[in-house]
Chains A and B, each alone.
Chain A
Amino acid sequence: MSTVVVSRGRVRRVWRRRLVRALVYLALAVTTIVMLYPFWYMGEDAFRSLEQYQLGSGFSLASWRELFQTLPVGRQLLNSTILTSGSIALILAASTTAGYALGVLRYRFSSVVFLLVVSSMMVPLQSIIIPEFVNLARLGFVNHFYGAILVYAALGAPFSTFLMTAYFRRLPDDVIEAALMDGLGYFAIFFRIMLPLAVPAVVTIVVLQFIQIWDDLLVGLLFLQTPDVRPITVGLATIPSQHLLNVPVLMAGSLISAAPAIAVYLVFQRYLIAGLTTGIGK
Chain B
Amino acid sequence: MLFTIPVLALIGSLLLYPIGQTVYYSFTSWDGYTSQWIGPSTYTHLFHSPDFVRVLENNATILLAIPVAILLPLAVALLINSHVRGWRLFRSVFFLPTAVSWVVIGFVAVRFFANDGILHDLLSKLGLGAVHPDLLAHERSALLAVMITFIWSMFGTNLIIFLAGLATIDQEIYDAAKVDGASPLAAMFRITIPLLKRFIQFTFVITLITAFTALFSLIFVMTQGGPGFGTTTLEFYVYQYGFAQSFYGLGATAGVVLFVVVFAVSMVQLRLLRVDD
- Residue A273 interfacial (CB < 8 Å): yes
Query: Total A-B pairs in contact (CB under 8 Å)?
Result: 254
Q: Is the CB of A264 within 8 A of B99?
A: yes
Query: Beta-carbon contacts of A108-132 to B below 8 Å, as 1s and 0s?
Result: 0110010011111111111111111
What does the 1/0 interface line of B1-24 toward A look like (CB < 8 Å)?
111101110110111111101100
CA distance A97 to B263 in the complex (A): 27
Which residue of A is nearest B106, CB measured? A237
Q: Which residues of B are found within 8 Å of A282, using beta-carbon distances?
A: 168
Taking a contact as CB atoms under 8 Å apart, the answer to whether A105 and B238 are in contact is no
- Whether B105 lies near A38 (C-beta < 8 A) is yes
Of A97, A186, A222, which one neighbours B4 at CB under 8 angstroms? A97
Question: With A261-B101, A281-B276, A282-B168 as given contacts, are A126 and B213 in contact (CB-CB < 8 Å)?
Answer: yes
A158 touches B11 (CB 8 A): yes
With known contacts A28-B76, A94-B6, A128-B255, A120–B98 Cβ distance under 8 A: no
- Asked whether A121 and B266 contact (CB < 8 A) given A32-B93, A222-B243, A264-B99, the answer is yes
At the interface, yes or no: B248 with Cβ under 8 Å from chain A?
Answer: yes
In the complex the two chains form, what is the Cα distance from A272 to B272 in whole Å? 20
Does A81 interact with chain B (Cβ within 8 Å)? no
Q: Is the CB of B3 within 8 A of A101?
A: yes
Q: Which residues of B contact A97 (CB under 8 A)?
A: 3-4, 6-7
B160 and A38 contacting across the interface, CB-CB below 8 Å: no
At the interface, yes or no: B111 with Cβ under 8 Å from chain A? Answer: yes
Contact B3 A105 (CB under 8 A): yes
Known: A127-B256, A262-B96, A280-B161; 9 extra A-B contacts, CB below 8 A, are: A27-B76, A94-B7, A121-B266, A122-B269, A126-B239, A129-B255, A135-B21, A154-B11, A215-B99
Chain A residue at smallest Cβ distance from B184: A20
Which residues of A are found within 8 Å of B216, using beta-carbon distances? 126, 217-218
Contacts of B76 in A (CB 8 A): 27-28, 31
Contact residues on A (Cβ < 8 Å of other chain), bracket: 35 or more
User: What would be 16 A-B contacts, judged by CB atoms less than 8 Å apart?
Assistant: A34-B152, A121-B266, A124-B259, A124-B262, A127-B255, A127-B256, A130-B238, A151-B14, A154-B13, A211-B98, A217-B103, A236-B103, A251-B108, A261-B100, A265-B95, A276-B157
- CB-based contact A280/B276 at 8 Å: yes
**Quick one: closest A residue to B95, CB to CB?**
A269
Q: Is the CB of A35 within 8 A of B22?
A: no
A-to-B contact residues, CB < 8 Å: 24-25, 27-28, 31-32, 34-36, 38-39, 41-42, 90, 93-95, 97-98, 100-102, 105, 107, 109-110, 113, 116-135, 150-151, 153-155, 157-158, 161-162, 166, 186, 190, 211, 214-218, 221-222, 233, 236-237, 247, 250-251, 254, 257-258, 261-262, 264-266, 269, 272-273, 276-277, 279-282
CB distance from A175 to the nearest CB of B (A): 17
Give every chain A residue within 8 A of B93 (Cβ-Cβ).
Answer: 32, 35-36
Instruction: Please report whether the interface of chain B is mostly helix, strand, loop or mixed according to DSSP.
Output: helix
Residues of A close to B8: CB separation below 8 A? 98, 113, 116
Chain A residues positioned under 8 Å from B19 (CB to CB): 123, 127-128
B241's nearest neighbour on chain A, judged by CB, is: A130
- Cβ of B248: which chain A residues have Cβ within 8 Å of it? 130, 134
B102 within 8 A of A: yes
User: Which B residues are in CB contact (< 8 Å) with A131?
Assistant: 18, 21-22, 25, 252
**Is B61 in contact with chain A by the CB < 8 A criterion?**
no
Contact status A123-B259, CB under 8 Å: yes
Assess A254 versus B15: contact at CB under 8 Å? Given A126-B235, A217-B217: no
B155 on interface, CB distance cutoff 8 Å: yes
B221 within 8 A of A: yes
| Bound Cα distance from A94 to B14, whole angstroms | 14
* Residues of chain A lying within 8 A (CB to CB) of residue B105: 38
Q: Within the complex, what minimum Cβ distance (angstroms) separates A63 from chain B?
A: 14
Contacting pair A125 B242 (CB below 8 A): no
Q: Which residues of A contact B217 (CB under 8 A)?
A: 215-218, 233, 237
* Shortest Cβ distance from residue B104 to the other chain A in the assembled complex, whole angstroms: 4
